Amino acid sequence: MASENLYMGRISYINASPVYYGLDHGLAPDWLTLVTDVPAALNRKITASDIDISPISAAYYALHHKDLLLLPDLSISCRGPVMSVICAARCPLDDLTGKTVMFSRESATGAAFLKMIFAGRGIRPQFQFGPVGDITAIPPDVDAVMVIGDAALTQPWQTRFSHWYDLGQLWYEMTGLPFVFAVWVVRRSFAAARPDQVSLALDLLKASRKMGYAHLDTVIDAGQAKLGLNRQMVKDYYNRLYCDLDQEKIAAMTKFFDGLYQQKILTSRPEIAFFK
């Protein structure tokens, strides 16, 4: 029986709620501590050894694959529109050369993918980071924003930006494949030192996810209450999300990583390696 504490990250957005439902409803053992934060913070915390297991941006895994192992059959993915990873712009994407595109610091994957699209199309915007989670805080000279998570679902982006691009849909049109936004990982050093506890944690996550999908109406109600959205919109959102990681999604992730490497966003091809 595991006794040493294990620190597990949890994304603060509603997209991961099905995976954590069981842990929030009685499955969490005493030795498990959940650490809730935005993806970028979880990215930093796992490489700083502040947490041991976590969902992180898929692109961040690609950057740090030598220090991390993927946990099998867990991801946040979509096939087509995802609704919560968007680029909103004043003009078509192809007209953004020389214009200002503002990114959130909260997602490595969405930012990397959008940069890959720009590079592939020969578009050369001016990139900057800023407060894209609140439409009223975006400077007036910003021509486009990339927004992820709950803010993408709740802010009235169409009131300021005339063009709207769903990154899940863009990827599907390019490849016909799903897109993997986030993956669950464990630090390699932690897995080597405490493999039995990692196995227990993986079993807990899968059991928790199973409970989540068995109680999806409750998950939808909680998401609606948190974001104040129409219930059907929240239901549609969860219907677009996948939390598994099958062979097709692994192939799609490999294609994404290859594209990042070809566009020189990555300096080496990542190794996709799983905890066993």
pLDDT by residue (tens digit) across 89-141? 999 999 999 999 999 877 678 888 899 989 888 999 999 988 888 899 999 99
The predicted model scores a pTM of 0.92
Domains, in order of start, for the chain: 6-78+179-252 (3.40.190.10), 85-175 (3.40.190.10)
Which pair of structure tokens corresponds to residue 235?
A: 């239901």
pLDDT at 249 over 60: yes
Which pair of structure tokens corresponds to residue 83?
A: 């609704």
Instruction: Answer yes or no: are the C-beta atoms of 205 and 10 closer than 8 Å.
Output: no
End-to-end CA distance of the chain: 19
State residue 3's pLDDT score. 67
Task: Quickly state the pLDDT bin for 182 (edges 50, 70, 90).
Answer: very high
State residue 198's pLDDT score. 98
Q: What is the distance of C-alpha 218 from the center of its chain?
A: 22
**Residues forming beta bridges with residue 274, ordered by sequence position:** 70
Closest CA to 115 of 266, 271, 268: 266
